[in-house]
Amino acid sequence: MTQPTDRRIDKLVQLLVKNATVVVPGSKLADEIKVPLHTVYYWVHKLRELGVDVRGIRGNGYQLRKLPDILVPSLIYPQLGANQIGNKIIHYFRTDSTNNVALSLILEGASHGTVIVAEEQMAGRGRFDRTWYSEQTSGIYTSVILRPSLAPASAPILTLMAGLAVHHAVTEVTGLVADIRWPNDLMINGKKVCGILTEMSAEADRIRGVVLGIGINVNHRQMPSELAAIGTSLRMEGGRDYSRAQLFLTLLKKLEHYYRMLMDGGNAAITERWAMASSYAQAKRICITTRSGVFLATTVGLDPSGALCIRRDDGQEEKLLAGDIVEAK
C-alpha cells in the first residue's frame, strides 16, 4: 500500500502558505523542514502535479502564487477547533482506497474521529462491489473512523446520519439544491454527486469501529462516459469550481454536529431531519433491485432504525434495511 504523506511535505505547504506571495529561499525551506535542498525541489515538483501554483525563481527561491486547494492536515487543523472528528487526519497523495486504510487502522486501534483523506484513489470502492471513480484532486475521497458504543444493528442510522451531514455541508458551501436518495446518495438535478460506503468491524454484540467512506465529485469537468447519465459533479451543476478544502472542513464539522445529535437525541433526531431533507422519505415512486428481482413500490416513511418503509405495487409492505433504489420514471 502507498504511504501517507510525509509530514514534512505538509510542513512545506504550511511554510509556503504562511509566506504566501513572497519568495522564500529554498535553503530556508530546507533548513526549516530539515531535508536536503534537492528534496525541497522534488517535493515542490510533486505539489505542482497536484495543481499547487508554486513559482521557482532560479537562485532565489519559491513563491506560492495562490492558496492551494489540497487537503493536507496543516491547512485543515487550524480551522477545526475542538472537533473530535478530524482530530487526527491522515493524508495520502494516492492510495488504493481510504476505506481499506481505515479498516486496517481500526484493527490497529485508531481512535474515534480519525480521518483518512486522499487526493486520488487507485481502487476506490462503492456499494455493491462497484468502483468509485476517484480522479486526482477533483473530488473529496475520505473515510471517517467512528467508535460508537452501539450494537451492530445500529449501523443503518449512522449511514443516514452521514448522508444528512453531506447534504448540509454541500448545500451550505455551494448553495445548490440537493436531495438524498435513500440511504445516502446525494443527488443534484437527478444525478449522483456523492456516495457513502459504510463498513464495520464488529463483534457479536458490539461495534468495534465503523468506517464512513465518503466520495464527493467536486470539480470534475466531466464524468467518464459510462457514468455520464447517472453521475455529476458540483462544478458541472454549479458552473464554477468550489474549494475542496472548505467543503472538507465543513463536512467534518457537520459530521461532528449530526453524530452528537444522534448520541444525545437518539435515532428520531436523525430520521426526522433526514425525512425533511429527502424527497425519498414519503410517496416516492421507486424501483428496487434485490437478489430476487426488480420491483416497483412507493415509499411510506422511515422506521426508527432508519429502514425505508415501502408499499410494493402488489400491496405487500416491507422495510428495506439495505438496497439499491432508483426513482421510477
Region label for 138, one of left (φ > 0), alpha (ψ between -120 and 50) or beta (otherwise) = alpha
| Residue among 6 and 199 whose Cβ is closer to ligand BTN | 199
Alpha carbon distance 148, 196 (integer Å): 18
Q: CB-wise, 141 or 280, nearer to ligand BTN?
A: 141
Of 105, 87, 81, 91, the residue nearest 47 (C-alpha): 91
* Stretch in the footprint of ligand BTN (CB under 6 A) among 35-43, 74-82, 195-203, 234-242: 195-203
Question: What whole-number distance in Å separates Cα of residue 74 and Cα of residue 118?
Answer: 14
Interacting residue with ligand BTN among 125, 167, 253, 254 (CB under 6 A): 125
- Number of chain positions touching ligand BTN (CB under 6 A): 20
Chain residue whose CB lies nearest ligand BTN: 195
Tell whether residue 156 is a contact of ligand BTN (CB under 6 A).
no
Which of 329, 325, 291, 290 is CA-nearest to residue 308?
325
Q: Out of 62, 92, 93, 132, which residue is the one contacting ligand BTN (CB under 6 A)?
A: 132
24-31 CB contacts, 8 Å cutoff, 24+ apart: 24/61, 24/62, 24/63, 25/60, 25/61, 26/61, 26/62, 28/61, 29/61, 29/62
Q: Which stretch binds ligand BTN (CB under 6 A): 53-61, 136-144, 226-234, 318-326?
A: 136-144
Q: Which of 45, 130, 206, 285 binds ligand BTN (CB under 6 A)?
A: 130
- Which lies closer to ligand BTN via its Cβ, residue 75 or residue 162? 162
Give the number of residues written for the chain: 329
105 is a contact residue toward ligand BTN (CB under 6 A): no
Pick the closer one to ligand BTN by CB: 143 or 174: 143
**Is residue 195 near ligand BTN by the rule CB under 6 A?**
yes
Reading the block at residue 228, the C-alpha cell is 455520464
200 binds ligand BTN (CB under 6 A): no
Q: Based on C-alpha coordinates, what's the Rg of the chain?
A: 21
Which residue, 296, 290, 281, is CA-closest to 328?
296
Binding-site string for ligand BTN from residue 79 to residue 98, where x marks contact by CB under 6 A and - marks none? ------------------xx
Minimal distance, residue 260 CB to ligand BTN, in Å = 23
In the complex, least distance from residue 99 CB atom to ligand BTN, rounded to whole angstroms:
4
* Identified binder of ligand BTN from the candidate list 90, 110, 146, 196, rule CB under 6 A: 196
| Smallest separation, CB 119 to ligand BTN (Å) | 12
By CB under 6 A, residue 126 contacts ligand BTN? yes
CB atoms within 10 A of CB 249: 22
Sign of torsion, CA 88 143 167 13?
Answer: positive
Residue 215 in contact with ligand BTN, rule: CB under 6 A:
yes
Contact status: 231 vs ligand BTN (CB under 6 A): no
Residue 165: name the closest of 252, 233, 223, 98 by CA. 252
> Which residues are paired to 296 by β-bridges?
287
Whole-angstrom distance, CA of residue 105 vs CA of residue 156: 22
Binding site for ligand BTN (CB under 6 A): 97-99, 121, 124-127, 130, 132, 141-143, 185, 195-197, 213-215
